[in-house]
Amino acid sequence: MFDFVEPLFNALPLVFELENLIGMVVGVTAGMIVGSLPGLTATLAIAVLIPLTFSLQPLVALGMMAGIYNGAMYGGAVPAILLKIPGTPPSIVTTFDGYPMGQQGRAAYALKIACWSSAIGGVISAISLMLFAPPLVKLTLLFGPAEYFWVAMFGLSSIAILLGKDPVKGIIAACLGLLFGTVGSDVVTGHQRLTWDFKYLIDGIDLLVILTGLYAIPPAIQMLEKAVLKGFTAASLKLNPEDSILNNLSSFIPVWLRGGIIGIIVGILPATGGSMAAFISYNETKRVSKEPQTFGEGNPLGVAAAECGNNADNAAAMIPALVLGVPGSGVAAVILAGLLVHGLQPGPSLFRDTPDIVYGFMWQMFFTSILLIAFGGQIAIRLFAQVMRLPQTLLAPMILCLTFVGIYSLGNNMFEVWLMFGFGLFGYVLNRLNFPLAPIVLGLILGGMAEHNLRLSLLLSQGDWGSLFQNRLSQILIVLTLTILSMPLLGMIRRKIKKQSTSER
């Protein structure tokens, strides 16, 4: 049971070799920069990095990748808080409360919370990777197509909580997401759906195209509309003295623990990513809160839940990747490719043949999370927050340029760039009509997952719908889904009863 302890500590000295330390620091810094640029993701950065690491020692290369991974996942929070533009997909959730905080002049505090929460989520996740990697992998094997279908349904049902004040618009937005998710070639029949003979649509619309379009373009247009020539004053970016994380530690700790556990579980499940971890962590924190109405209005706990859940997904997503070769997220998939390039075949033999590298990588996930506080906390906040002092008329064209470069570099084609601009204009209209954007993204990610697994499950059972309800795990997931769906309903009934009892009195 504890036979992994010895190799784990044998690998520790290697991690502290100068080369490795430099690799991690470079990775974290590069990751934060890449993550904070909308449209550029950790996946992209690591993919570009892999060929450059050929000549490096495997552990140095992996250290850089670990740094980029953790750094980028935090970096995404910076534009989310300052500009309401998520730098990476999961930081959509950070915009919910992070941006209002920034508007209230508490941007620096929000950034500090994001940094600490990311680091703590990352550390919790890295510890889970060290402790649970072999035993937890058995858990993923329990998930077949039917179970994944319910995982997706569970995720989709969380939209019910996200809907907020205007459920009709929220449901329309979710349906739009589902619709965008159907574009592309049908895996089961080979037919093309909604591709209109555009070759670039056959693989479906890239999530990043929609995400960048919906989230980066509308704010840029709005900035240009207002044509504000002045930026924020330096005074409004100062850290308020009463806002200290240490003073509010007692309220943060439960949020971090919850977010950490949710992130780990979501991370281990393949095909889900940090976005889902952040969403669920945020929802749960809001659900148990005594004052749920303050979420979305700049509640610091909202930022903490989102960032902690998101970064707790990181190392956990590497658990199935290292042991089974099944990546738990897109970034984990690219790191897996990086391992292969260095001649390391994932699987049980990886732990047996090259323990120094596997366990060294686990330490690197751990230490790069801690590095976030040193570099992200002190240097990056001071540096990136100055972005806010730029006049918005200057910032808008910069954002447009960056999204342009980011999306072009995805596939080296202009079609996706125009598509992104199209989604940008669409997003601008939706913004103006007060439609929520998050349900679109959730519908897009989970709709495809639900559909594919439903069909796989029905193909495997030759059309027997009962196969969806047979397993214990499916049943647990169904109960969870129904619980979440009935939540708004229960709330409504409770409010009615309360009203009645007060009117009777």
Partner 1 sequence: MSFSTMRNLMLLSLVMVGVMSTPVLAEEYPERPIEVIVAFGPGGGTDVAARTIEPFIEKYLDEDLVIMNKPGAGGEVGFSLLAASNPDGYTMGFINLPAMFAYSYARETQYSRESFAPIANLVYDPGIFAVREGSQITTLEELIEYGKNNPGALPIGTSGSVGSSEHLAILQVESKTGAKFNHVPFGSTSTLRTALLGGHVPVAAFNLSEAVEYQNEGAIIILGVMDSQRSDTAPNVPTFKEVGIDLISGSSRGLAFPADVPPEIVAKVSEAVAKAMVDPEYVAKAEQAGVPLSYMGPEEYGEFLKTTDEGLAEAWKNDPWVK
Q: By C-alpha distance, which of 402, 384, 390 is closest to 29? A: 384
Select from 337, 370, 399, 387 the least CA-distant residue to 48.
Answer: 337
Least Cβ distance, residue 200 to partner 1 (angstroms): 5
Least CB distance from residue 329 to partner 1, whole Å? Answer: 12
Position of tokens 């200057």?
Answer: 394
CB atoms within 10 A of CB 356: 16
The whole-angstrom separation of Cα 111 and Cα 114 is 5
User: Which residue, chain included where needed, has tokens 């709709």?
Assistant: 447
Nearer to partner 1, 394 or 460 (CB): 460
Q: What is the DSSP string of 113-154?
A: HHHHHHHHHHHHHHHHHHHHHHHHHHHHTT--HHHHHHHHHH
Binding site for partner 1 (CB under 8 A): 43-44, 46-48, 50-51, 54, 140-145, 185-192, 199-200, 202-203, 270-271, 320, 324-327, 333-334, 337, 340-345, 347-349, 410-413, 452, 456, 459-460, 462
Smallest gap from Cβ 303 to partner 1, in A, equals: 31
Smallest distance from partner 1 to CB 176, Å: 23
Could you tell me the smallest distance in angstroms from the CB atom of residue 366 to partner 1?
24
User: Smallest distance from the beta carbon of 141 to partner 1, in angstroms?
Assistant: 4
CA-based radius of gyration for the chain: 22
383-402 burial, b at 16+ Cβ within 10 Å, e below that, comes to ebbebbeeebeebbeebbeb
Q: Among residues 151 and 484, whose Cβ is nearest to partner 1?
A: 151
CB of 460 to partner 1, least distance (A): 5
Residue 104 vs 140, nearer CB to partner 1:
140
- DSSP H or E segment with residue 440: helix 438-460
Nearer to partner 1, 192 or 386 (CB): 192
Which residue, 292 or 325, is less far from partner 1 as judged by CB? 325
H or E stretch including 111?
helix 107-140
C-beta of 195 vs 294, nearer to partner 1: 195
Tell me, rounded to whole angstroms, the distance of Cα 429 from its chain centroid: 25
Nearer to partner 1, 27 or 260 (CB): 27
